Structure 1
Amino acid sequence: MTPSAADPRPAPLPSLSSGRRIRAAVVGTGAIARGSHLPALARLAEEGETEVVAAVDVDAAAVEAFCAEGGVPHAYTDLDRMLAEQRPDLVTVCTPPTLHREQSVAALRAGAWVWCEKPPVPSLADYAAVEAEEGTDGGPYAAIVFQHRFGSGARHVRRLLAERALGRPLVAHCQTTWYRDTAYYAVPWRGRWHTEGGGPAMGHGIHQMDLLLDLLGPWSEVRAMAARLVHDVETEDVSTALVRFENGAMATIVNSVLSPDEVSRIRLDCERATVELTHLYGHSNADWRITPAPDVPAAEAAAWQDFGADVPSSHLAQLRELVASMRAGERPRASGADGRTSLELVTALYKSAFTDTTVRRGEIGPGDPFHTALHGGTPGWAPAAAAVAERGVPA
């Protein structure tokens, strides 16, 4: 239908399956938007896949500078206005976690797909609210930035595990031991449950835990501990956990912001080989090592070392796959139930640590205090009543 005075609606855009450029908008113009999202979108723009039509930030000067530097034509301080005027196909959310639910819901209601930075949202209840706004047939869908599970190295190891070439997974270790000083926590929204969502388990280690789950499959139970050892924050600054997987494998998980010798590491001991990944903020083929058991034939072991063309884990690697899913009208990886599994493990880790119990997968649902807040209202961990009243948020 042609728009007219009687029908003021804008003409519908051609289907994404037609091959037209995907209209993208960036919400939040801080470091992650500048350093990761915009470069990935720009690379795909060079290949004719995307065009960045707008950016949004509450800071007018910041969004104007972002648009000027990145060649983005339209700057906004109002998300709803941008959605109505620009009608993006894809909205990338790069704001603090406390805003993710509201902004993701607004974009989905406007018909846009969402690619949201981790942590996805502060709670499982928030995640369910976002899921409720997704399309039921062909999108739009909301995906989480879990870029560490993308790239050639993760794909190669995932295939070897799925084919049982390495035998049964038996023992695993997942380590995110980073270092953050007091200046890092001077940013007002960091270290607070309501605004950051959680400590290193939620805000840092979730990446490696997501990759571990992507490789090993569903977990079944977790037993954890958490502590504040250095920083004066609401959340923890270190946590440890023991996890049992449905396939029988057992894992240890360590998340820390107290570790001067920073590293991100996953180790999988299988019946026929040990797989190790050691890196910091992203990995390539060279960061993976596969050590065969002594009885593995040399030719077979050599074949395991062929990772193929090197595609590093990155926002770009995930965005390429997301764009393909958009064009096909298919649910992307790291969305829906696939995206929720890592948040569910993190939530269970906190519940186990704060209640001194073993938590089983699937047990945290509506009515459980940890479903709506990762601190679960636990004395000594939940925000102080005065601070809660001041911020106007649930304890």
Structure 2
Amino acid sequence: MSSTYRLAVVGTGGIAHLHADELRKHVPDRIEITAAVDPDTARLDAFKERFGVARGYATIEELLANEELDLVDLCTPPVAHAPGAIAALDAGVGVVCEKPPALSLEEFDRIAAAAAASSADFAVISQHRFGSAAERVRNMAASGVLGRLAVAKCDTLWFRPEEYFAVEWRGRWETEGGGPTMGHGIHQIDTLLSLVGPWSEVVATAHRHRRQTNTEDVSHAIVTLESGASVVVTNSLLSPRETSQIRLDYDTATVELDHLYGYGDDNWRIHPIPSAAEDVQRAWAGEPRGQASGHGAQFKRIADALDGRTAPPVTLDEARRTLELLAAIYASAFTGKRVRAGDIDPTSPFYQRMDGSGAPWPDRK
């Protein structure tokens, strides 16, 4: 039997409005927004009025001291993710956190330690894992109908003008954690890893071509998976024709996803080889179908997990694997070396910060 869970939104900027809209649309009887947090009183009041939220607080500490909650939804800038998550977990309150979950592997491991000591769980928003087409591709790969993966690509080609970075926390290692690799490409990279499995090593470059930021505005990586398949990854904020793409070349078919900020079944295509066309098309025509990717799809799974008293649908290990790949991309780009999974341990500067001992260009902000 489903219960209604009490959730507080922490941070009431644009992404918080998206989360609240998705909660109201997809799980209105299962997750109720009972409070919100923002030090900006005008922004907080506007959020409360729009979504009918009764109570507001200036800090997460005030929230946790005064509310009985099942979940906090962290919609703050990335610099506040780890402190907010640890505070909530220490109070026995579950956490839903926007990406990136932390500014570094060191911060993430502190979150994981807090989760291990807590009665509550930590979940990272990974909304593109939950569309029906992605689930169908995972099922087809597991069944063997696609054969083995050989080659893949994963591109986040977006455009952010200079004025986008006028927001103080954007484009800074200390507050955003990185550029398009960390703050934008993470969505597609996380989806890719959910489809193809763990990575083993990476060779990468990163560049600051145009934007007046401390972070990169473009990165490229060649990733080798544990399966032996290879993936080319590009992350850009300099691409006027914006698109988010994944291409997977298996033995019997090419699977392609082309969208921008979210996909439905129609954003996917499959191209089988003639000798396997009947079996591949039969599997492709099967279930599940009809579920678009998006925050609402993941919030449904989070509510299901709470009902069943099970762990959230994206494990801490899966979330860390994605963050570790991002750290490895930066480490390879800034050192010129091949980086293997597990190389970035607490002795590495890239464990503490995504830019390690510093990016190879001067600060601009």
If the length of structure 2 is used for normalisation, what is the TM-score?
0.96
**Structure 1 Cα separation of the partners of residues 266 and 27 of structure 2:** 28
Partner SS, residue 370 of structure 1? helix
- 2:352 is matched with which residue? 372
- 1:170 is matched with which residue? 150
**Structure 1 Cα separation of the partners of residues 356 and 363 of structure 2:** 10
- Is 1:30 the counterpart of 2:13 in the alignment? yes
- Is 1:81 the counterpart of 2:59 in the alignment? no
Which consecutive residues of structure 2, in runs of 5 or more, have no partner in the other structure?
A: none
- Is 1:42 the counterpart of 2:18 in the alignment? no
Which of 329, 332, 338 is the aligned partner of 2:312?
Answer: 332
**Structure 2 Cα separation of the partners of residues 273 and 52 of structure 1:** 44
> Offset of 1:141 from its aligned partner?
1.1
**Structure 1 Cα separation of the partners of residues 98 and 67 of structure 2:** 22
Partner SS, residue 378 of structure 1? coil
- Is 1:131 the counterpart of 2:131 in the alignment? no
> Offset of 1:383 from its aligned partner?
5.3
- Is 1:348 the counterpart of 2:331 in the alignment? no
- Is 1:20 the counterpart of 2:3 in the alignment? yes
**Structure 2 Cα separation of the partners of residues 379 and 239 of structure 1:** 13
**Structure 2 Cα separation of the partners of residues 329 and 302 of structure 1:** 36
Partner SS, residue 154 of structure 1? helix
> Offset of 1:309 from its aligned partner?
3.1
**Structure 2 Cα separation of the partners of residues 243 and 193 of structure 1:** 23
- Judging changes above 3 Å, is the alpha-carbon distance between structure 1 residues 190 and 311 closer, same or farther for their aligned structure 2 residues? same
Mapping of 1:289-304 within 5 angstroms? 289-298=269-278, 300-304=280-284
- Is 1:281 the counterpart of 2:264 in the alignment? no
- Judging changes above 3 Å, is the alpha-carbon distance between structure 1 residues 379 and 186 closer, same or farther for their aligned structure 2 residues? closer
Which of 237, 245, 250 is the aligned partner of 2:225?
Answer: 245
Identical residues among aligned pairs (%):
44
Which of 329, 332, 338 is the aligned partner of 1:358?
Answer: 338
> Offset of 1:134 from its aligned partner?
0.8
Retained in 1: the 8 A contact 2:213–2:363? no
- 2:184 is matched with which residue? 204
**Structure 1 Cα separation of the partners of residues 299 and 31 of structure 2:** 10
**Structure 1 Cα separation of the partners of residues 277 and 81 of structure 2:** 50
Letter of the structure 2 residue corresponding to residue 20 of structure 1 = S
- Judging changes above 3 Å, is the alpha-carbon distance between structure 1 residues 317 and 220 closer, same or farther for their aligned structure 2 residues? same
Describe the superposition over 1:142-192 as per-residue Cα deviations: whole angstroms up to 9, x where unpaired.
111110111101110111112221000000000000001011011111110
- Is 1:194 the counterpart of 2:177 in the alignment? no
Describe the superposition over 1:335-356 as per-residue Cα deviations: whole angstroms up to 9, x where unpaired.
3111111100000000000000
Which of 145, 157, 160 is the aligned partner of 2:125?
Answer: 145
> Which structure has the larger Rg?
1
- 2:293 is matched with which residue? 313
**Structure 1 Cα separation of the partners of residues 273 and 303 of structure 2:** 40
- Judging changes above 3 Å, is the alpha-carbon distance between structure 1 residues 65 and 121 closer, same or farther for their aligned structure 2 residues? same
Letter of the structure 1 residue corresponding to residue 236 of structure 2 = S
Partner SS, residue 182 of structure 2? helix
Which consecutive residues of structure 1, in runs of 5 or more, have no partner in the other structure?
A: 1-17, 388-395
> Offset of 1:215 from its aligned partner?
0.5
> Offset of 1:266 from its aligned partner?
0.2
Describe the superposition over 1:314-352 as per-residue Cα deviations: whole angstroms up to 9, x where unpaired.
000011111111222222133311111110000000000
Retained in 2: the 8 A contact 1:193–1:383? no
Letter of the structure 1 residue corresponding to residue 112 of structure 2 = E
Describe the superposition over 1:190-218 as per-residue Cα deviations: whole angstroms up to 9, x where unpaired.
11001111000000001110011000100
- 1:11 is matched with which residue? none
Partner SS, residue 275 of structure 2? coil
**Structure 2 Cα separation of the partners of residues 105 and 45 of structure 1:** 26
Describe the superposition over 1:9-59 as per-residue Cα deviations: whole angstroms up to 9, x where unpaired.
xxxxxxxxx743100000000000112x1012223553x212111000011
Retained in 1: the 8 A contact 2:132–2:289? yes
If the length of structure 1 is used for normalisation, what is the TM-score?
0.89
**Structure 1 Cα separation of the partners of residues 285 and 94 of structure 2:** 37
**Structure 2 Cα separation of the partners of residues 280 and 305 of structure 1:** 24
**Structure 1 Cα separation of the partners of residues 23 and 241 of structure 2:** 33
Partner SS, residue 200 of structure 2? strand
Mapping of 1:208-219 within 5 angstroms? 208-219=188-199
Retained in 2: the 8 A contact 1:87–1:110? no
**Structure 1 Cα separation of the partners of residues 3 and 230 of structure 2:** 47
- 1:54 is matched with which residue? 35
**Structure 2 Cα separation of the partners of residues 383 and 369 of structure 1:** 18
- 2:102 is matched with which residue? 121
Q: RMSD of the alignment, in Å?
A: 1.6
Retained in 2: the 8 A contact 1:141–1:335? no
Retained in 2: the 8 A contact 1:235–1:381? no
Letter of the structure 2 residue corresponding to residue 249 of structure 1 = A
- Judging changes above 3 Å, is the alpha-carbon distance between structure 1 residues 333 and 362 closer, same or farther for their aligned structure 2 residues? farther
Partner SS, residue 216 of structure 2? coil
- Judging changes above 3 Å, is the alpha-carbon distance between structure 1 residues 101 and 216 closer, same or farther for their aligned structure 2 residues? same
- 1:68 is matched with which residue? 49
- Is 1:226 the counterpart of 2:209 in the alignment? no
Letter of the structure 1 residue corresponding to residue 7 of structure 2 = A
Which of 137, 147, 161 is the aligned partner of 1:157?
Answer: 137
